[in-house]
């Protein structure tokens, strides 16, 4: 069974704080695939993933290397026993799950990230603690030195302003309300 090869050797490169990384972690844990997590402070991850891609999570197994969280879920789903699949087999339920996952990936997650970072970036001690959870000691030591640079890079890259944070909060509320509507 292919899932056994993933079990032997799965290696997940992540950030401590990331909805995409949490999604991959969740899938591996839900399927009881044992894996080694290699966490990095944002910025340092480039040293580890550069040969294969530009973002985390990256999952490396004996069979393949995957550089996108949705691809990771589909791969794990395909090798899981039918009784433990991540996605429903019923086509319309499956479509609904794929739609929700996409909505959360592309809208809800980025909105939460923008809104949370807008406030967290003012609390340097807290964000450094969050980013450092489980990372190599050298990155923990260097983060306070490079933090101002990383923060301004992230603010520009993710377009974090008071206005985008306020818009993000509206997106979070809208999606939460829509997702709570009963399906008809
Ligand atoms: N579509 C990708 C997006 C992953 C992504 O954007 N990851 C962020 C972390 S939340 C990242 O690696 N950002 C750093 C960078 O792009 O250099 C996925 O689902 O895996």
For ligand 1, what atom is nearest to the CA of residue 46? 17
Point out the domain boundary residue: 84, 108, 141. 84
pLDDT value at 68 more than 70: yes
Residue 61 maps to which CATH number? 3.40.30.10
Point out the domain boundary residue: 32, 51, 84. 84
Question: How many domains is the chain partitioned into structurally?
Answer: 2
Do 59 and 114 fall into the same domain? no
Q: What is the mean pLDDT of residues 98-124?
A: 96
Q: Is the CB of 70 under 6 A from ligand 1?
A: yes
Q: Supply the pLDDT for residue 1.
A: 34
Do 120 and 55 fall into the same domain? no
- For residue 95, the enclosing domain spans 91-180
- Each residue of 119-154: pLDDT tens digit? 999 999 999 999 999 999 999 999 999 999 999 999
For ligand 1, what atom is nearest to the CA of residue 70? 19
Ligand 1 centre to CA of 181 (Å) is: 29
Atom 1 of ligand 1: nearest residue by CA position: 68
Q: Supply the pLDDT for residue 8.
A: 63
Burial 110-123 (b: 16+ CB within 10 A, else e): bbbbbbbbbebbee
Give the Cα separation of 175 and 108 in Å (integer). 7
Q: Is the CB of 56 under 6 A from ligand 1?
A: yes
Give the Cα separation of 99 and 82 in Å (integer). 21
Which of 12, 20, 25, 43 has most ligand 1 atoms within 8 Å of CB, for mutation? 20
- Percent of the chain predicted with pLDDT > 70: 93
C-beta neighbour count of 12 within 10 angstroms? 22
The model's pTM: 0.90
- Each residue of 25-53: pLDDT tens digit? 999 999 999 999 999 999 999 999 988 88
Residue 121: C-alpha distances to residues 33, 108, 127 (Å): 34, 19, 7
Inter-residue contact 168 to 111 (CB < 8 Å): yes
């Amino acid at each position: 069974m292919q899932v056994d090869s993933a079990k032997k050797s799965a290696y997940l490169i992540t950030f401590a704080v990331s909805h995409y990384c949490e999604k991959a972690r969740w899938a591996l844990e839900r399927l009881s695939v044992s894996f080694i997590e290699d966490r990095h402070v944002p910025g340092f991850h480039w040293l580890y993933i550069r040969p294969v891609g530009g973002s985390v999570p990256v999952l490396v197994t004996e069979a393949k290397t995957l550089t996108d969280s949705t691809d990771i879920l589909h791969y794990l789903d395909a090798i899981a026993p039918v009784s433990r699949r991540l996605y429903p087999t019923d086509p319309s339920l499956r479509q609904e799950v794929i739609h929700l996952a996409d909505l959360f990936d592309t809208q809800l997650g980025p909105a939460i990230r923008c809104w949370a970072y807008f406030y967290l970036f003012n609390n340097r001690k807290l964000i450094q603690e969050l980013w450092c959870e489980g990372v190599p000691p050298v990155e923990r030591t260097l983060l306070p030195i490079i933090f101002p640079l990383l923060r301004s890079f992230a603010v520009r890259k993710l377009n974090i302003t008071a206005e985008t944070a306020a818009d993000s909060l509206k997106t979070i509320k809208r999606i939460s309300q829509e997702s709570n509507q009963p399906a008809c």
